[in-house]
Amino acid sequence: MTDDHVWQQLRQLLLGASRRVVLVAPFIKQDLFQAVLDIIPSSVIEINCVTRWSVAEVAAGVSDPEIVELASIDGRVLVRLCHDLHAKLYVADTRCLVGSANLTSKATGRVAAANLELLIEEDVSHPEVQRVLSAISSSAVPATPELARLLREQAELLQADEEWSRIVIPGQRAQATRWLPETRRPERLYPVYRGRHHNIGRDVLAGVLRDLAELDIPPGLVEEQFAAIVRARLRELPEVRRLDQIGRLSLGDAKEELVANGIWTEEQAQRALETLGEWLRYFDQVYFVPTGPWEIRQGKPIK
CA neighbours closer than 13 Å in the CB half-sphere of residue 66: 12
Interatomic CA distance for residues 199 and 202, integer angstroms: 9
Contact status, residue 189 vs residue 165, Cβ threshold 8 Å:
no
Neighbours of 99 (CB within 10 A): 17
296 strand-pairing partners: 249, 288
Q: How many CA atoms lie within 13 A of 277 on its CB side?
A: 22
CATH topology of domain 5-146: Endonuclease; Chain A (3.30.870)
Give the DSSP letter string of 167-222: SPPTTTS--SS------S-GGGHHHHHTT--TTS-HHHHHHHHHHHHHHTPPTT--
**First-to-last C-alpha distance (Å) of the chain:** 57
**Phi, psi dihedrals of residue 302, rounded to the nearest 5°:** -75, 125
Q: CA 95 to CA 257: how far, in whole Å?
A: 55
Domain ranges of the chain: 5-146, 160-298
- Any idea what DSSP says for residue 65? T
Q: What is the pLDDT along the chain (303 residues), one digit of tens a residue?
A: 467 999 999 999 999 999 999 999 999 999 999 999 999 999 999 999 999 999 999 999 999 999 999 999 999 999 999 999 999 999 999 999 999 999 999 999 998 888 999 999 999 999 999 999 999 999 999 999 999 999 999 999 888 876 665 555 554 544 446 789 999 999 999 999 999 888 888 888 989 999 999 999 999 899 999 999 999 999 899 888 877 777 777 777 788 888 887 778 888 888 888 898 889 889 987 656 655 556 666 665 444
